[in-house]
């Protein structure tokens, strides 16, 4: 009975709001924060739930045994439980069950072999007494090294059965037409003023000032190492500046935790991709939308299908994020950020690692996706050529300082900008970093 209830609770928990957010946070803590999830809350709920189940289970066990001794509960059980999870796969409820079955059968088998019923002299050298321990340790180590996701990874029996039934019905319902409403841009602004960042003795930013109006697309360019990512980290609450402020929609967000910044309407992507790998494409977007539902009410909320179609990923919605190729993964990150209903999208080199044709297409998608949610954009690129087409204004960073601001044409003609790029290792104008 309790087993049934625990399975049900475990399985249902995954479908709940809290459960889904907790899964995202498990996949990537920083990315979760960046769309507004505060992992502490979810983890606390998950922890409490499991403590309740374990407590009830232990109480029943005590009832069955008739005694309480720490010997039964302390090390051995902890170890066995852990081994069950590792063997079965900690990402699925079916896996946990399978792990329990496999380990119980294995341990009982070992106990039998080590017991008095088996009388093979050759077995004696195998340290009969420690046989179960060897099995336990071997199973844990073996799985951790060779198959760290366990036997089943995140495969679930009920989900599989459901899929099977769906396939039998041989459906493929026509998808509803996409209605792309274009919300009016927000009348607020994002301003970072006088931001200075020191890493030890190294000054990564000095007095950097960037302003983006609602609905505006602003570029931030500069050679590698200029401090572009650092500025985004300051805005996103990942790096605390030595001085300077970051104000969005009149709210001072300087030094606020990342999830608070995201809920405040500043949602970013990462230079080195951060997706929720074992969640599907669709789930990645839905998780962000789930947070936004609560924390960003009243903001334009395109549905998941519209967003995914917007970046050309609707056909791949059932794929796991980690199976996507590089370009698609970048597009998914963009869709996920938009699903968080931002006032401002902060994109760190969305075209990095892409071919020229792909980059141009991506830039176009940035613009349409931002328009879909009525967000302003601050987009980083180290190559001016790619963002020139979509930016209203461009800031140029060099060695931590803003050296020029203007329209793309003005920036292109600016001798200071040319000098900065020529002065750097000339990698600035090349692709592929
Ligand atoms: P980019 O413009 O290429 O994005 P970054 O903002 O990543 O440049 O980095 C700016 C400079 O700050 C680089 O010289 C980098 O080495 C340095 N830097 C960035 N993050 C850190 C850190 N956490 N600790 C020390 N130095 C850092
Ligand atoms: Mg960078």
Same domain flag for 358 and 309: yes
* Closest ligand to residue 225's CA: 1
In this predicted structure, the answer to whether residue 321 has a pLDDT above a threshold of 80 is yes
Strand partners, 285: none
Instruction: Give me the helix-helix angle, 2-15 and 39-65, nearest 10°.
Output: 170
Which domain does 24 fall in, by range? 2-168
pLDDT at 423: 66
Q: Give the pLDDT band of residue 141 (cuts 50, 70, 90).
A: confident
pLDDT tens, position by position, 170-226: 544 444 444 445 555 555 888 998 899 999 889 999 989 999 988 889 999 988 889
What is the Å distance from ligand 2's center to 225 Cα?
Answer: 7
Q: Alpha-carbon distance 39 to 62, whole Å?
A: 34
Same domain flag for 347 and 261: yes
Q: Residue 160 domain-assigned?
A: yes
225 lines ligand 1 (CB under 6 A): yes
DSSP state of 226: S
Same domain flag for 87 and 198: no
Q: Residue 179 domain-assigned?
A: no
Same domain flag for 137 and 197: no
Q: What is the mean pLDDT of residues 85-110?
A: 82
Strand boundaries in 288-390, DSSP class E: 344-348, 376-381
Q: Give the pLDDT band of residue 38 (cuts 50, 70, 90).
A: confident
Instruction: Name the token pair of 360.
Output: 């141009």
Instruction: Name the residue with the closest Cα to ligand 1, atom 25.
Output: 199
How many Cα atoms within 13 Å fall on the side-chain side of residue 278?
17
Same domain flag for 354 and 212: yes
132 lines ligand 1 (CB under 6 A): no
Q: What is the mean pLDDT of residues 140-165?
A: 79
Q: Residue 183 domain-assigned?
A: no
What is the Å distance from ligand 2's center to 209 Cα?
Answer: 17
Q: Alpha-carbon distance 267 to 289, whole Å?
A: 12
Instruction: Name the residue with the closest Cα to ligand 1, atom 24.
Output: 199
Same domain flag for 201 and 156: no
Same domain flag for 204 and 70: no
In this predicted structure, the answer to whether residue 147 has a pLDDT above a threshold of 90 is no
In this predicted structure, the answer to whether residue 69 has a pLDDT above a threshold of 80 is no
Q: Residue 182 domain-assigned?
A: no
Same domain flag for 201 and 329: yes
The C-alpha R_g of the chain, in whole angstroms, comes to 27
* Mutate which of 198, 200, 204 for ligand 1 pocket (most atoms within 8 A of beta carbon): 204
Residue 352 belongs to domain with CATH number = 3.40.50.300
228 lines ligand 1 (CB under 6 A): yes
Domain boundary among 107, 139, 168: 168
In this predicted structure, the answer to whether residue 332 has a pLDDT above a threshold of 90 is yes
| Ligand 1 atom nearest residue 224's Cα | 3
Q: Alpha-carbon distance 393 to 343, whole Å?
A: 18
| Mean pLDDT score of the chain | 82
Instruction: Name the residue with the closest Cα to ligand 1, atom 14.
Output: 225
pLDDT at 429: 45
74 lines ligand 1 (CB under 6 A): no
224 lines ligand 1 (CB under 6 A): yes
Among the listed residues 296, 292, 305, 366, the one whose alpha carbon sits nearest the alpha carbon of residue 333? 366
Domain boundary among 104, 138, 168: 168
Same domain flag for 97 and 150: yes
Same domain flag for 49 and 78: yes
222 lines ligand 1 (CB under 6 A): yes
> Could you give the number of structural domains in the chain?
2
* Closest ligand to residue 428's CA: 1
pLDDT tens, position by position, 336-349: 999 999 999 999 99
């Amino acid at each position: 009975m309790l087993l049934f209830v625990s399975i049900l609770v475990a399985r249902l928990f995954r479908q709940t709001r809290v459960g889904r957010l907790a899964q995202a946070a498990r996949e990537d803590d920083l990315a979760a924060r960046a769309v507004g999830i505060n992992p502490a809350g979810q983890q606390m709920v998950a922890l409490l739930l499991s403590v309740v189940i374990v407590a009830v289970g232990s109480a029943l066990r005590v009832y069955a045994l008739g005694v309480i001794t720490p010997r039964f509960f302390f090390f051995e059980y902890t170890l066995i439980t852990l081994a069950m999870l590792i063997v079965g796969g900690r990402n699925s409820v079916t896996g946990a069950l399978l792990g329990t079955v496999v380990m119980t059968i294995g341990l009982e088998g070992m106990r039998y072999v080590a017991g008095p019923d088996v009388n093979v002299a050759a077995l004696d050298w195998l340290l009969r007494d420690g046989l179960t321990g060897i099995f336990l340790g071997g199973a844990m180590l073996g799985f951790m090294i060779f198959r760290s996701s366990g036997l089943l990874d995140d495969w679930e029996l009920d989900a599989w059965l459901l899929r099977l039934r769906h396939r039998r019905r041989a459906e493929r319902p026509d998808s509803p037409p996409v209605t792309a409403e274009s919300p009016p841009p927000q009348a607020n602004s994002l301003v970072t003023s006088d931001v200075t960042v020191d890493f030890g003795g190294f000054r990564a930013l000095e007095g950097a000032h960037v302003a983006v109006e609602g609905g505006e697309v602003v570029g931030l360019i500069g050679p590698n190492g200029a401090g572009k990512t650092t500025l985004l980290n300051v805005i996103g609450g990942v790096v605390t500046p030595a001085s300077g402020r970051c104000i969005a929609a009149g709210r001072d967000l300087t030094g606020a935790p990342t999830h608070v910044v995201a809920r405040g309407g500043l949602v970013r992507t990462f230079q080195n991709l951060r997706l929720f790998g074992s969640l599907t494409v669709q789930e990645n977007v839905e998780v962000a939308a789930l947070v936004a539902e609560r924390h960003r009410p009243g903001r334009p909320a395109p549905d998941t299908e519209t967003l995914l179609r917007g970046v050309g990923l609707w056909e791949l919605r059932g794929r796991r994020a980690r199976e996507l190729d590089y370009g698609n993964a970048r597009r998914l990150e963009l869709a996920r950020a938009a699903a968080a209903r931002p006032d401002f999208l902060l994109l760190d080199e969305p075209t990095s690692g892409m071919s020229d044709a792909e980059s141009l297409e991506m830039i176009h998608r940035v613009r349409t996706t931002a328009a879909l949610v009525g967000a302003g954009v601050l987009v980083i690129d180290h190559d001016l050529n790619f963002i020139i087409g979509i930016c209203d204004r461009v800031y140029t960073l060099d060695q931590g300082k803003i050296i020029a601001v203007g329209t793309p044409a003005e920036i292109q003609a600016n001798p200071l900008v040319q000098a900065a790029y020529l002065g750097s290792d000339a990698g600035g104008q090349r692709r592929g970093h």
